[in-house]
């Protein structure tokens, strides 16, 4: 019994220490953002990696998500004779929830895992120590550009996801199943309000922070072995995905 309590205590202390270190990491990264040099070239490179290179998988996911929403929505709404509301159902689902959440999960899987692996390898091969010895802060040089790029890139990808998803719903609902194009677009126009769009943008900004924060943190403090790096990458993807879903719930409950 005492062993169980001791183990519980050790685990609790470990978790508290880990959370404290994660918050300090985030605080230090934000603090370094405001100090020159600002490294625009590094930020653009990261924006290209996180944003542009994730666009294909985001478009693909968005198209099929919109198409399946169109399909499911059409048969559900038809039972009530409300097929004309298909556009609003697809658009609201996309803009409020599916766009920010699914696009962020795709970015986590594609770019977040790569960030963890890249930073982790730099840690294992002492490249981060080399930066330190040159009196260059690794948080400023390595992490800050990724942080800014995720902050800018994720909302842009979410916007693309929303548009492509709505067109995916249009393709299935209007072109395949025969809903009137006019009612599809007009129901979107009447149902979607600016606060839905703002809410989606706010979510995507916060998800961008979560992705860069957790994935960079896990790489930065990886254990010095190949196995440790593998574990760090897995933990980064799992923890980021779970945090996105939990944070989405809290943000939705505040925004609604």
Partner 1 sequence: MIKLVGVEKTLGGQAVLRGVDLEIPVGKLTTIIGKSGEGKSVLLKHMIGLFQPDRGEVWVDQVEISRLRGRALNEIRKRFAMLFQGAALFDSLTVFENVAFPLREKLGLAEGDVGRRVHEKLEQVGLHGMGHKYPAELSGGMRKRAGLARALVMEPEIILFDEPTTGLDPLMAKTIHDLIVDMHKTFGFTAVMVSHEIPKIFDISDWVAMLKDGKIAAMAPSEEFQRITDPEIAEFISVGGTVTLSPGARRR
Which residues bind to partner 1, rule: CB under 8 A?
Answer: 121-122, 125-127, 129-130, 132-137, 141
Query: How near is the Cβ of 233 to partner 1 at its closest, in Å?
Result: 17
How far is it, in rounded angstroms, from Cα 206 to Cα 94?
17
Alpha helices in the chain (DSSP H): 2-33, 40-50, 55-78, 86-92, 99-107, 113-124, 127-133, 138, 144-170, 181-191, 194-220, 226-255
Cβ atoms of residues 179 and 84 within 8 Å: yes
Query: How near is the Cβ of 129 to partner 1 at its closest, in Å?
Result: 5
Nearest to 147 by CA among 225, 36, 46, 53: 46
Query: How near is the Cβ of 122 to partner 1 at its closest, in Å?
Result: 8
Query: How near is the Cβ of 175 to partner 1 at its closest, in Å?
Result: 45
Closer residue to partner 1 in complex, CB, 127/231: 127
- Residue 101 tokens read as 């959440």
Closer residue to partner 1 in complex, CB, 124/163: 124
Q: What are phi and psi of 192, to 5 degrees?
A: -85, 125
Max CA separation in the chain (angstroms): 70
Query: How near is the Cβ of 136 to partner 1 at its closest, in Å?
Result: 6
Closer residue to partner 1 in complex, CB, 129/175: 129
């Amino acid at each position: 019994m005492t062993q169980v309590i001791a183990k519980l205590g050790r685990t609790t202390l470990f978790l508290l220490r880990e959370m404290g270190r994660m918050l300090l990491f985030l605080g230090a990264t934000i603090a370094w953002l405001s100090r020159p040099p600002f490294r625009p070239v590094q930020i653009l490179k990261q924006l290209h990696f996180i944003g542009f290179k994730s666009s294909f998988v985001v478009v693909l996911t968005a198209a099929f998500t919109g198409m399946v929403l169109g399909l499911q929505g059409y048969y559900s709404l038809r039972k009530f004779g409300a097929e004309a509301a298909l556009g609003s159902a697809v658009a609201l689902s996309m803009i409020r929830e599916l766009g920010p959440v699914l696009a962020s999960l795709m970015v986590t899987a594609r770019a977040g895992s790569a960030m963890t692996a890249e930073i982790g390898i730099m840690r294992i091969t002492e490249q981060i120590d080399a930066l330190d010895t040159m009196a260059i802060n690794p948080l400023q040089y390595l992490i800050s550009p990724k942080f800014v790029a995720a902050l800018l890139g994720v909302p842009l990808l979410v916007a693309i996801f929303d548009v492509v998803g709505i067109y995916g719903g249009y393709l299935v609902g209007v072109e395949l199943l025969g809903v009137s194009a006019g009612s599809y677009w007009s129901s979107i126009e009447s149902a979607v309000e600016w606060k839905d769009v703002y809410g989606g943008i706010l979510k995507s900004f916060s998800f961008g922070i979560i992705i860069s924060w957790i994935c960079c943190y896990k790489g930065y403090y990886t254990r010095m072995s190949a196995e440790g790096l593998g574990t760090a990458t897995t933990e980064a993807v799992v923890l980021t995905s779970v945090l996105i879903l939990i944070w989405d719930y809290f943000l939705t409950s505040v925004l609604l």
